[in-house]
Structure formats: structure tokens, C-alpha cells
Amino acid sequence: MLPLQPHLQEGAEVSRYRVEELLARGGMGLVYRARDMRLDRLVALKVLTPQFSGDERFRERFVRESRLAAAVDHPHVIPIYEADDWNGLLYLAMRLVPGADLSAVLGARTRLDTATVLRVLAQTAAALDAAHDAGLVHRDVKPANLVMAGASAGSVPADVHVYLTDFGLTKRTSSVSGITATGQFLGTLHYAAPEQIRGEAVDRRTDLYALACVAYEMLAGDPPFARDGDAAVLWAQVYAPPPAVTPLRPDLPQAVDAVLARGLAKEPDARPGTCGEFVALLAGALHRTPARPTAGHAVPPAGGGPAVDPRPPHPSLPGERLPPGRAPSTVQPPPAPVPPPWPAGSTPGRRGAGRGRRRLLVAGTAALLAVAAVLALWRPWSGGPDLVDRTLVEGWTATVPEEWAPARVGGRAGFSVLAPRDWTAVFRSEAGRAEAAAAVEEDPDAVVGVYGEIAEGLDAPTPVALVGLVEPHLAAPVTLTPGEATRLAGRDAVAFTGTLSLDADRSLLLSGAVTTEEPRLLVVTFRPLAVADAWRPVVQRVLGSVRAA
């Protein structure tokens, strides 16, 4: 058996690959530029470190699930050519992408502009949602695993293409933890979700948490739970409340804090449903009017350098104070579980106080659940009789709440909207969007509905390009993120999520799909961000109900 070496020298051969140069070191292995001697092409060859190669259960799962990951065919998932066990070495052969990873870019630029942040996040979210739909969880989403073609440490092109790498380290959603048989933690602490750290079941929401950590870092310059020492980072990930980014970036709207807090929620159920939805919510928040800087906010110095944080450094014990200047109305994540004492051990009085806090949390949670139950019973769409079939566009029907009445726009660019009020003007004029913005303030449940159209002129060679054509076609300020292949009205389609900006402060969350064959059926549901979660089951049912009349 080949000895497990910390570093393969130039010219060393692993299976059919000849090593040319060491490209990067990571916690799970080394990445080399290598040449495939059989096909005479350059590849990125990742050779895993001995502690993983020595874990027999990990070895078997690595080869089996890497091959499953290789079957995820998505433009933003880096292609895996081969994954195997060769003479005791576990390796991955992947496409070699000229460019730089996000970690190198952040190391040189500290933080990124919001347009670049959204481009990187949207492409990464599409890759993750594709993997999740295939039943895989990445478990190690971090800047070093986001490779940007054509980028360098000092610049990111406007048309950057992002690849999510290391899909060979994925786990199927039926698996139960992030720990190997030998107790080795799989993942990177600064981006690891609480359930991953605790060794509990992982699923798509685990990757979403990591993506929210990456989003925070791109905006702030540091991960959300940066601490001195691994133990302090672990504690903070599990127990510390998500920090606000606006004290470090007063140029950003405070609504961004609420979206990041949802992505960083300690409980998986409190996070958005998909990575694409999280990015859509963040895009909507970023398009709002920024809060005016207040005392205690970090202010970028002249010359465009990094902002100076006026707060003292992180305390030595892993807790965190609320950032100064945070508005009381900022949405907070659900209450975190009461943390164990830090360091280990505390007085009986403290333990008693902890039990008291638990009782308060339990009582508060019970009250919230009771209110939620009442609201669930009160909402008019909860019962089956309140759902009716209506014509969405000529030849196609959908099942919608009874109060959603049809409104149509005729002509060559005709479309229809089913909603409690006539919201066709939202897709036609600034005045219509202003009216909807005012209505959102008074009654957000009235600004929900579904848009339908037999769309012309959407000829595109790929699903991603097709969604790109939908944005200008809607003739409104929308930002869309392509999703996965789906079915709409029994036909092949591509899904998407996004936002429609009503004004500087209010946006609608969009979920929809467009068929990939003629005639192209375009269906878009919309709802205000404030009630997005409450309406999610309804819009999902509406989208799933569209069918030929």
C-alpha cells in the first residue's frame, strides 16, 4: 500500500493522474493540479487526509456518494470526473477552473459590493437546491468551496460564473450526522449549523445556514460568529444570537438583519424553505432604503477602506452583546436554547436561574403556538371549501382561494392575475406598484395572487437563460434566481424564485415556473415579504394545481 503522505511531490501518480503542482490545502485534504494521463487533460485532484482515509465507514460512503454527487448535472456544480479509493488514498478528480475561490477574494478585498454578493449567492443557491432535490446535503459550504471562473484575488468580473466544489464530501439526507465513525467532525466550524455540531440529522437547511454565514461574511468581512478558539466558535454557533450586519455596514437597509437572522436561526424549522428563497428574501431586503447611520455604527473611512467597528473586541467568553444602535423593531430569530454554562460548571443558583429561564421560554413558546393555532383556524384559506377552480389563462385553470378574482390585460402581451384585488398594474406601471406598496402597509394579505400568461419570445438554449429572459418580459423591477427542472401543468418547466420591488422599502416575494416547450406557460405567484411564510403552503398548492382546462 502506498504510504499516506502529507504532500505528493511533482510527478507522483495517483491512479491515472500525474501530479503537477499543489494548488491548495484544506482541512480535509490537498488539492493538486494534475494531468489525466488517459485523456490528456488537466484536472483538479483532491486527495483526502489520512484521518478520513483511515475511517472505513467514511471510505465506503465517500466512494458511493461521490458517484451520486457526480450525477448532479448543474451549471454551477463543478463536474466530478472520478471519485475512488486507490492504494489507500481517497481522491476526487474534478474540472480545473481557472480563477480564484471566494476565500482568496475576501482575503484581498475584505467585503464585496451588494451586486456581486447577490450574483455569487444566487448561483450558489441554485447549485445547492439542485443537490438537495437530488437528496444530497453538501455539509461544507464555505468561501473556499466557491470557485469563481475568471476571478482573481483583486477582482471579480461582472459576469462571474460560480462553481460549488467538494460535492464528494456530501451526505445523503437519510444519513444522520456530521461525525465520522472515529469522531472526526465533517465541516468547517465558522459555517457549521448547530444541528451539525451537535451530531444531529442534517438536511437542506443545514446548507442554508452555511450559505447565510457566507452571505454575512461577504457583506461584513468576517463570519458571523468569529471567535478566538474552536471551542468558542462551537459555543457561539449553537447559542449566541445572530449578530446584525448593519452596525458594520450602515449603508445597508436594516431589513437585511432580519433576513440574515432567519438564515442563521438556531432551529432549522425557523429558516427559509430553500436556498433560493433565502437569496430572494435577501435581494428584496437589499433593495430597500438603507437606514441612516446612528451613533455607534461602524462608518467607512474616507478612501473606501474597511469600516471601523466601534465596539470592543469579542469578549473572551463566547457570548455576544447586542450591537449598539440596533433598532428595537429589528426582527430577531426564534429564542435560542438556554446555553450551558461557559466554562463548564456553575453554581446551583445559576442552574436554578437557568431552569427559570427555561420555564419562561416554554411559557412564551406555548403562548406563541396558541396564537399561531388561532390564526391558522381564522385564515380564510384554511378550509377546502374556500378553494375554487378559476381560469388562469385561456385553456388553463388553477385552484386558488375563493376571494381571488380574475383580472386580465388584453392584447398581444395579454396576461391575467388572480388576486383579492386587481393587481395587473403591478406588472405594468410605477403607479400600480406604488398602490400595491401602500396596500402592503395596510393589509399585506390583500397583495397576494398569481400571474399567468402564454408568453411569447422566450426562446433560450438553456433553462438558466430562459429564466433570464423572464425578468425583462415581466416589465417590472424583478430579480429572479433560476431553480431546478420541474413540472408545470403536466409539462417540463424550470422553476424560479425572486423579488419584485414595489418601492424603496417594500418588495414582493415571487415563486413561479415557465415551461420549456411551446407554447410557453408562465406562472408567477407573489406575496409580501412580511407574510411570505404564512402564504407559502397556499402558493405551492396554487402552482401545483395549474392544469389544462
Rounded Cα distance, 411 and 173, in Å: 48
Cell 483532491 belongs to residue: 46
Rounded Cα distance, 103 and 419, in Å: 45
Rounded Cα distance, 176 and 436, in Å: 45
Q: What backbone phi and psi angles, to 5 degrees, belong to 201?
A: -60, 140
Class of residue 185 by CB neighbours under 10 A (exposed 0-12, middle 13-18, buried 19+): middle
Instruction: Find residue 342's DSSP bridge partners.
Output: none
Q: 132-152: buried (b, 16+ CB within 10 Å) or exposed (e) per residue? A: bbbbbbbbbbbbbbbbbeebe
47 to 184, 408, 527: CA distances (angstroms): 17, 59, 47
Return the sign of the alpha-carbon dihedral for residues 436, 439, 444, 447: negative
Q: Which residues are catalytic?
A: 140
Q: 402-422: buried (b, 16+ CB within 10 Å) or exposed (e) per residue? A: ebbeebeeeeeeebbbbbbbb
Picking from 221, 257, 231, the residue whose alpha carbon sits closest to that of residue 242 is 257
Angle between helices 275-286 and 204-220 (to 10 degrees): 30
Rounded Cα distance, 93 and 78, in Å: 10
Rounded Cα distance, 86 and 369, in Å: 54
